[in-house]
Chains A and B, each alone.
Chain A
Amino acid sequence: MNPVFTQGLLDVDFGLFFWILITFLLFLFLLTKFAWKPILNALGEREKAIRDSLEAAQKAKEEALLISRENEKTMKEIESISLKLRKEAIEEAEALRADRAEKSKAEAEKLIEQARSTIEQEKKKALLELREEVSKMAIEAASRILDEELDEERNRKIVDRYIKELS
């Protein structure tokens, strides 16, 4: 007795077809819901996180570069400013010194001038006093010599005239 098989190799069994159809849908649903979705979401999230952090790192790098460049610029500016300031200060100090020296020189000159004029005045005064003294002494001498002959007033005028002529 030869066994008769339900199917040939190429027969489609509709009972099996039905079962596979239903259960495949079920498995598709279950696997999608409990396996593929979480896995794919997690993978997507991870990739996004990696991409984002790479981008952020790139951005940060660019920013840092920008900042460092700015810093460099500021440093240079500050340096140039300080250089300028130093130069100005030196110049100012120089000017101040020159000014002061000039002033003190002028003051000294003024003092010398003052002294000189004082000396001149004193000299003049002294000369005047001397002249008066001399004229008095001369008159006295003359009056002693010419006592009676000439009155004092006239003599004095004469002596004054002489002295004036002398000086």
Chain B
Amino acid sequence: MKQFLRFLLLTLVLTTSLAVVSKADSGKENRIDLIGKVVDKYYLDFKPLATIELPRFIYDNGSFHFYRSTTSLLNQSEVFTDAAYIDAEPRRENGLIKPVSYQIVRLDGSSPGFDFSITAHLVYFWLAALVVMLLFFPLAIRYRKGIGRNSEPQGAFQNMFETLVIFIRDEIALQNIGQQKYMMFTPYLLTVFFLILTMNFFGLMPWGVSSTADITVTAVLALFTFAATQIFASKDHWKHVFWFPGVPVPIKFILMPVELIGLFTKPFALCIRLFANMASGKILILSILGTIFIFADLFGSGVAYGTSWFWVFLTLFIYLIKALVSFIQAYVFTILSALFIGMAVADHSDEHGH
């Protein structure tokens, strides 16, 4: 019985993949590029309502090239073209060349010097920052006026965000960095927490994109934590890295590379953790919804309709988990940043027998 089940599962998986492959081969346009839904794009995707192309900035051969959109670049530029048009006829719409791959190359097919175009993830990063600023600048003005400074905080808005701010200051910064230096890093931790949280929440909205599902964004954030740990590291921190105290000399030589690698694995893990959590949520939702269509291919549309309610509910469940994960990952990133900073800036001079 068990073997039979296993066999069934295997067949299911194999036929599924075969079905997908055959679909792809048949060249029908009803397939969904899963990874394409998660990676960064040079346009804001509001399909089927609209796609808004974003400005393209390219630095090449000592000169800057600015274009309002990829379309305008393709129609105006004499040095760049879409990578897909190197050996194919351009696709035209109302007389305008439309981008396909959005990857800009020189006419000979080589990559341009430096492409620093605005991307969807960047736009959503800015949007998140804008939301955070719109939330906290008025709040700061309230405090400047004296509400919350000389009196108790008033209103749900102030109470809610003050609780979060105090939580980060007391439970994250103070707990992990310590009394002496925590106030120096609290603004950074607050910025990171609220930015990541807002970016995560954008991923929950219709058409929204979570910038934290981009390894570049998380890498920059992790880089800042890394920079903070290295710039503000105490003497003890370097001593622990290069000449671990309290162990025999041969062990010190073994520990040195381990500690050196450890310096880099910490922010690397920080970066990967956030990225993987946020990206996987989206992929999972699309995969589960995709199951309906795979079932339609495998067993006919009757089965797909019959089971669809289950997949939709499962998607809903995953969506709730995503909402939870948005909070958890923002919290985890912040608390780990605080922990790493705390470890680096800690002064062990008053401790013994480490």
Contacts and interface: CB of A to CB of B under 8 A. Distances in A.
Interface of A: 1, 3-21, 23-24, 27-28, 30-32, 34-43, 45-46, 49
A27 B117 contact: no
Given A16-B217, A24-B221, A36-B187, A45 B149 contact: yes
Given A31-B187, A35-B136, A23 B149 contact: no
B139 A5 contact: no
Contacts of A23: 122, 125-126, 129
Nearest to B169: A40
Contact of A31 (B103, B121, B122, B190): B190
B84 A16 contact: no
A12 B125 contact: no
Contact of B162 (A11, A12, A43): A43
Contacts of A24: 125, 195, 220-221, 224
Contact of A38 (B100, B144, B169): B144
Contact of B149 (A15, A20, A42): A42
Contacts of A11: 215
A56 B312 CA distance: 61
Contacts of A34: 133, 137, 140
B148 interface: yes
Contacts of B183: 40
Contact of A8 (B35, B116, B221): B35
A88 to B, nearest CB: 60
A76 B247 CA distance: 71
Interface of B: 33, 35-36, 38-42, 57, 83-84, 88, 100-103, 114-119, 121-122, 125-126, 129, 132-133, 136-137, 139-141, 143-144, 148-150, 162, 165-166, 169, 183, 186-188, 190-191, 195, 214-217, 219-221, 223-224, 279
A1 B87 CA distance: 12
User: What's the dominant secondary structure at chain A's contact region?
Assistant: helix
Given A4-B84, A45-B149, A21 B116 contact: no
9 closest A-B pairs by beta carbon, nearest first, are: A42-B143, A15-B116, A35-B136, A42-B149, A36-B187, A32-B187, A38-B140, A4-B101, A20-B220
21 contacts: A4-B100, A6-B40, A13-B40, A13-B119, A15-B117, A16-B122, A17-B216, A18-B116, A21-B223, A24-B195, A24-B221, A28-B191, A32-B188, A34-B133, A34-B137, A34-B140, A36-B186, A36-B191, A40-B169, A40-B186, A43-B169
Contacts, number: 150
By DSSP majority rule, is chain B's interface helix, strand, loop, or mixed? Answer: helix
B165 A19 contact: no
Given A15-B116, A42-B148, A43-B166, A3 B136 contact: no
A40 B83 contact: no
Nearest to B120: A16
B36 A5 contact: yes
Nearest to A20: B220
Nearest to B135: A35
A3 B42 contact: no
Contacts of A37: 187
Contacts of B88: 1
Contacts of B216: 12-13, 16-17, 20
A15 B137 contact: no
Contacts of A40: 165, 169, 183, 186-187
A64 B136 CA distance: 44
A14 B114 contact: yes
B186 A3 contact: no
Contacts of B223: 21
Given A36-B187, A37-B187, 16 more contacts: A4-B84, A5-B33, A5-B36, A6-B40, A9-B35, A9-B215, A16-B122, A17-B216, A20-B217, A24-B220, A27-B132, A28-B191, A39-B136, A40-B165, A42-B148, A42-B149
B129 A27 contact: yes
A32 B140 CA distance: 11
Given A42-B143, A43-B148, A28 B187 contact: yes
